[in-house]
Amino acid sequence: MTLLITWSDAGPDTVVRRTTEPDEIAAALAPAGVRYEQWALRDDLPEDPDPATVLNAYRHEVDALAAAEEFATIDVVGLRPRKDLGWRLTAKAERKKFLSEHTHDDDDEVRFFVAGAGAFYLHVGSEVHAVLCEAGDLLGVPRGTKHWFDMGAAPSYTVIRFFHDEDGWVGNFTGSDIALKFPDFDALVAERMTMAQ
pLDDT of residue 85: 44
Q: Which residues are annotated as a binding site?
A: 102, 104, 109, 147
- DSSP letter assigned to residue 56: H
Q: What is the largest CA-CA distance in the chain?
A: 44
Q: From 103, 130, 105, select the one nearest 184 (Cα to Cα).
A: 130
**Domain span at 174:** 3-196
Which helix H or strand E contains 160, and what residues bound it? Answer: strand 157-163
Q: Which residues are annotated as a binding site for Fe(2+)?
A: 102, 104, 109, 147
CATH number at residue 87: 2.60.120.10
Q: Which residues are annotated as a binding site for Ni(2+)?
A: 102, 104, 109, 147
Each residue's pLDDT tens digit, 49-94:
899 999 999 999 999 999 999 998 999 988 776 555 444 445 566 6
**Displacement of CA 64 from its chain's centroid (Å):** 20
pLDDT of residue 65: 96
Name the domain count of the chain. 1
